[in-house]
């Protein structure tokens, strides 16, 4: 009896703390909603389809991101992800289930195309929360996951182009022809014409992309967050991490509170971009705690990004090298995608995120941003 009256009082106090508009939205019933990073239009649509079919929100978001994990043409996640400096693809993933308040994660997992499913298995089938490297692979194989080579031909080519870009102080590199070889038409670490001769089947567009990957190592990821009609939430983040990383490097994606956080009483957040800088502000947790203290999803994310800028003393020259986004959703359906910069590079497209609100098509929307790049 005592417990019941305490919990009723706590609920009333919680409701009193909610701003009026948001309380009204919560009372009028919840509209299903799925958001994701910009590479997740299909993931949001799939998750929404499963939510409408009555599936659990965690199954829905994981089925959504599986599309991207299995896509060999997404070079930031799962199969076809860009490898570590040894040419081996290493994957990180985490998931959180709102209704049961549980979480699971894997880090530096090799050979399994769908690390998000392994993270869910860690959550559901072990007394642990986070398995890494060989232990995570052995666990996955014990459950029947198939071990496969995740390096596609394209990812291998991108890795070789990156190796050619590396030089010692004398401009030497053992992965290019030696000093007695016939001279190339042009010199330089990454000459597109030379690369076209070395990779005759690769195609000029892809080789130009490989050069860009070598010069600007990407650290893309997919985060996906869902809310169903009952107000239940789940979230997942999955990635191949930073391209050309030191083997064993784990980013923010599998860190509960860093690349992903969900509190069923408040909302959820996830991140893509440079994991090291997200971890310095414990970003996903910070976004959700900001909402707990009354901020909108947008303000919660922008405040977290301000903390990242503060870590660089707002020095724009150093901040220019940081690419970081948050995806934030409150339990009552307030949401945003927010980016440190308006675009990844000067002249590039505005950063977007994916949304499916259940009535319309899954689509991309412009993210809000903290800083504007000058061209």
Active site positions, annotated: 221
Q: Is 270 in the site for ligand GLY (CB under 6 A)?
A: no
- Which member of 104, 107, 111, 275 binds ligand GLY (CB under 6 A)? 275
- By beta-carbon proximity to ligand GLY, the closer residue of 117 and 219 is 219
Calculate ∠ Cα 374-214-189, nearest 5°.
Answer: 105
At its nearest, how many Å lie between ligand GLY and the CB of residue 181? 37
Asked if residue 345 lies in contact with residue 319, where contact means CB atoms within 8 angstroms, the answer is no
- φ, ψ of residue 123 to 5 degrees: the values are -60, -45
- Which member of 46, 75, 113, 219 binds ligand GLY (CB under 6 A)? 219
Contact window for ligand GLY (CB under 6 A) among 81-89, 163-171, 179-187, 269-277: 269-277
Q: Is 221 in the site for ligand GLY (CB under 6 A)?
A: yes
Q: Is 242 in the site for ligand GLY (CB under 6 A)?
A: yes
- By beta-carbon proximity to ligand GLY, the closer residue of 84 and 157 is 84
At its nearest, how many Å lie between ligand GLY and the CB of residue 6? 40
At its nearest, how many Å lie between ligand GLY and the CB of residue 219? 4
Contact window for ligand GLY (CB under 6 A) among 111-119, 173-181, 273-281, 312-320: 273-281
Calculate ∠ Cα 314-317-323, nearest 5°.
Answer: 80
- Which member of 40, 81, 241, 267 binds ligand GLY (CB under 6 A)? 241
At its nearest, how many Å lie between ligand GLY and the CB of residue 252? 5
With 0-12 / 13-18 / 19 or more C-beta atoms within 10 angstroms meaning exposed / middle / buried, residue 149 is: exposed
Residue partners of 226: CB distance under 8 A and separation at least 6:
32, 33, 34, 47, 48, 51, 57, 60, 61, 64, 233, 234, 235
Contact window for ligand GLY (CB under 6 A) among 18-26, 35-43, 166-174, 270-278: 270-278
Residue partners of 255: CB distance under 8 A and separation at least 6:
94, 105, 279
- By beta-carbon proximity to ligand GLY, the closer residue of 251 and 333 is 251
Q: Is 283 in the site for ligand GLY (CB under 6 A)?
A: no
Q: Which one, of 9, 75, 68, lies nearest residue 43 by Cα?
A: 68
Cα separation of 193 and 53, whole Å?
52
- Which member of 83, 273, 283, 337 binds ligand GLY (CB under 6 A)? 273
Asked if residue 76 lies in contact with residue 223, where contact means CB atoms within 8 angstroms, the answer is no
Contact window for ligand GLY (CB under 6 A) among 64-72, 206-214, 268-276, 352-360: 268-276
Q: Would you tell me how many other CB atoms lie within 10 Å of the CB of residue 343?
A: 18
- By beta-carbon proximity to ligand GLY, the closer residue of 199 and 312 is 312
At its nearest, how many Å lie between ligand GLY and the CB of residue 183? 39
At its nearest, how many Å lie between ligand GLY and the CB of residue 223? 9
Question: How do 267-273 and 324-330 pair as beta strands?
Answer: antiparallel
- By beta-carbon proximity to ligand GLY, the closer residue of 176 and 279 is 279
Q: Is 239 in the site for ligand GLY (CB under 6 A)?
A: yes
Q: Would you tell me how many other CB atoms lie within 10 Å of the CB of residue 24?
A: 11
- By beta-carbon proximity to ligand GLY, the closer residue of 110 and 331 is 110
- Residue entry with tokens 């004398």: 170
- Which member of 155, 194, 253, 362 binds ligand GLY (CB under 6 A)? 253
Cα separation of 351 and 365, whole Å?
9
- Which member of 38, 83, 104, 251 binds ligand GLY (CB under 6 A)? 251
Q: Is 235 in the site for ligand GLY (CB under 6 A)?
A: no
Contact window for ligand GLY (CB under 6 A) among 26-34, 246-254, 329-337, 338-346: 246-254
Q: Which residues bind ligand GLY (CB under 6 A)?
A: 219, 221, 239, 241-242, 251-253, 259, 272-275
């Amino acid at each position: 009896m005592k417990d019941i009256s305490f919990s009723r009082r706590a609920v009333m106090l919680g409701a009193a703390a909610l701003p009026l508009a948001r309380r009204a939205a919560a009372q009028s019933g919840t509209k299903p909603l799925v958001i994701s990073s910009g590479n997740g239009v299909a993931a949001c649509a799939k998750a929404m389809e499963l939510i409408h079919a009555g599936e659990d929100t965690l199954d829905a978001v994981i089925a959504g991101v599986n599309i991207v994990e299995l896509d060999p043409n997404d070079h930031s996640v799962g199969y076809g992800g860009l490898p570590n400096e040894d040419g081996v693809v290493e994957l990180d993933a985490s998931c959180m289930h709102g209704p049961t308040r549980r979480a699971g994660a894997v880090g530096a997992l090799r050979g399994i195309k769908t690390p998000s499913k392994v993270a869910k298995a860690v959550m559901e089938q072990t007394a642990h929360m986070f398995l890494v490297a060989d232990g995570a692979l052995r666990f996955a194989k014990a459950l029947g996951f198939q071990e496969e080579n995740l390096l596609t031909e394209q990812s291998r080519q991108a890795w070789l182009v990156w190796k050619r870009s590396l030089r010692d102080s004398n401009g030497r590199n053992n992965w290019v022809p030696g000093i007695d070889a016939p001279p190339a038409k042009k010199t330089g670490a990454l000459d597109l014409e030379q690369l076209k001769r070395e990779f005759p089947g690769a195609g000029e567009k892809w080789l130009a992309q490989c050069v860009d990957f070598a010069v600007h190592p990407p650290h893309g990821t997919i985060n996906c967050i869902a809310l169903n009609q009952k107000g239940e939430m789940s979230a997942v983040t999955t990635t191949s991490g930073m391209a050309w990383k030191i083997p064993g490097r784990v980013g923010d994606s599998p860190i509960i509170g860093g690349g992903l956080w969900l509190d069923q009483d408040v909302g959820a957040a996830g991140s893509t971009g440079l994991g090291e800088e997200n971890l310095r502000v414990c970003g996903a947790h910070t976004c959700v705690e900001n909402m707990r203290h009354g901020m909108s999803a947008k303000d919660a994310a922008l405040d977290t990004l301000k903390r990242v800028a503060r870590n660089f003393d707002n020095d724009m020259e150093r901040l220019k090298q940081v690419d970081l986004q948050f995806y934030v959703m409150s339990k009552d359906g307030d949401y945003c995608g927010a980016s440190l910069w308006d675009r990844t590079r000067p002249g590039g497209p505005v950063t977007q995120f994916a949304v499916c609100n259940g009535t319309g098509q899954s689509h991309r929307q412009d993210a809000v941003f903290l800083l504007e790049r000058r061209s």
